[in-house]
Structure 1
């Protein structure tokens, strides 16, 4: 099939959507399909990537999209809460697939009704059941399906290195929505709950607009917390091999690719129950889901004090694949692609 993936956000910018769209393209090409990514993210030229000019994320023109997208069998638009390119592409192609990668907040108005009228005849999908449920409530007349993000479990499998202090890790963009400041508060509480004689280490991987504020906070009595900045996937994998538990503090986590990768590396995941991490974390099996920062701190402290339970969770995560392997996820995507392509042919005929 000829497949167009449209995403406002793409490499070299790093983030969940950016990496997932890139990985999906690689997997589809590996399965024998012709894939082109359309984006407004600046970067060097690359085969299979079309970079369109934009100002403040808004495309300057849609003429190239108008000319090229109808030539593809399937157009799959990957969007967040603000995705001008994805919305315009979906509007231009009858039967496009539109996947929402973000979890809307109930406290912040999001004009999804206007977006729905603008994009027209699309097939709405979401990266998790949590996001899909929100869309179904906001768009009661629309069918909303789930197209999960994917992971390669083998890539994250590394022998554990046993000689290390009890280590807590988290990987995120250091932006307000991911709640990095709340994470530091949770780490302070964990340190207070764990006996002083027990050596602790915490590593918060990532960069973003909150980097300086995070560094300033760490300098005020959190000398056991490390902020290495942005790391490659291979560096993160090595870090996970000498870690014990992964924290996901975001309350609006649409899916949680970083948490899924940590789970594949064998780490128990403690995450907020309000987001999409529950798609692959079952309480007491792969980790725990909590309802607030204090509960996260007490849950982690109790886990660190219980080596038998921690070892059981780690062993399960190392030896049990999640449902969201790329093999399954690509199969799921292609089934929807073929359905949409067949519907387009019927409408044309």
Structure 2
């Protein structure tokens, strides 16, 4: 099958970017998805914001602007249907990574291409599909979860762990309440525990550097997947409350595959990522979330049980499995 994948986020990236840059979830998923389909024998072209043409792992990576000149069996567009405009492909799929409000879609010129090409829609979670308006002219709606990069599926699970709780989500409105929950928990947990925040700048915390240091909050830059997976090898658990707009939460899935249970409010797709008492703890509010941090910091046996449950996600989170699910879906279109 001749498949084109268009990822039109604002981020400029290419096939080799993950080796040197910390990419976001949509960019990472697009690269992994393209490579996994190519590994199954499909002819795959990945269109991104790049100024060079590259080829690797059976995938041809070109600039988005090349789209009008391409033909193929199917065009898969990540989130932005506007890029279907002028497409010469036989079939069209809108791969929705974010919630798409009707007024936003209309304002950005996405309704016209949808009406013309009548795409099939693919969501990463049940929560995302249910939150999407039924007024969109999709031919069909399907749920296919994302996968996790190999770095998290092969990271060491037997390395010594310290009481490092981690955050690696995009900073949204839940960051400051989560920091406040950590402050409440910090006074009750053993000395040496820390809250490591990845990709968060100092100004987002709502704390002075002195306050952050006193509370054992450690800031890290956004890391590559390989570096983040290595960092997780010595961590205890992830704190990820979730948000109403969360359509999958790749950060939580990556953490679980690296052996980290996830403490969450179960908001958005986190209700699907985390099973309470199996691979994490689902809390009703930030007070309970702070209590959950204390519980895992104090109870090594509980932490071990949840860690065991988290790492059991590995066999079902590989991109090779995701590619097979997509292949089955695409052959039925």
Q: TM-score range by the shorter chain?
A: 0.7 to 0.9
CA distance in 1, matches of 2:52, 2:185: 44
Please give the alpha-carbon distance, in whole angstroms, between the structure 2 residues aligned to 1:185 and 1:42: 40
- Return the alpha-carbon distance in structure 1 between the equivalents of residues 306 and 192 of structure 2: 21
Whole-Å separation in 1 of the counterparts to 2:98 and 2:278:
26
> Which of 96, 99, 102 is matched with 1:100 structurally?
96
| Cα-to-partner distance string for 1:96-146 (whole Å, 9 max, x where unaligned) | 0101101358xx964469744541211011111110111255549863211
1:185 corresponds to: 180
Structure 2: 5+ residue runs without aligned partners?
none
Aligned match of 1:16: 25
Is the aligned partner of 1:35 residue 2:44? yes
Partner of 1:263 in structure 2? 256
- What are the Cα deviations for residues 247-306 of structure 1, in whole angstroms up to 9, with x where unaligned? 113312211111111101111111231221333321110102234333322222222222
Please say if 1:285 is aligned against 2:278.
yes
* Match 2:143 to one of 137, 142, 146: 146
**2: CA distance between counterparts of 1:270 and 1:216?**
22
Q: What residue in structure 2 maps to residue 219 of structure 1?
A: 209
SS in 2 for 1:27: helix
TM-score, normalised relative to structure 1:
0.79
The equivalent position to 2:236 in structure 1, one of 238, 241, 244, is 244
Q: How many residue pairs get matched?
A: 312
- Tell me the secondary structure at the aligned position of residue 221 of structure 1: helix
Q: Provide the alpha-carbon RMSD of the alignment.
A: 2.8
- CA deviation string 1:31-64 (max 9, x = no partner): 121111122x2455422122146xxxxxxxxxx4
Structure 1: runs of 5 or more not aligned = 54-63, 341-349
Distance 1:322 1:217 in 2: 40
Residues 5, 35 of structure 1: 8 Å contact kept: yes
TM-score for the superposition, normalised by structure 2 = 0.83
User: What is the aligned partner in structure 1 of residue 172 from structure 2?
Assistant: 176
How has the CA–CA distance of structure 1 residues 267 and 218 changed in structure 2, closer, same or farther, with 3 Å as cutoff?
farther
Aligned to 2:83: 88
Q: Distance in 2 between matches of 1:277 and 1:190?
A: 22
CA distance in structure 2 between the aligned counterparts of 1:277 and 1:23, rounded to whole angstroms: 22
Partner of 1:309: 302
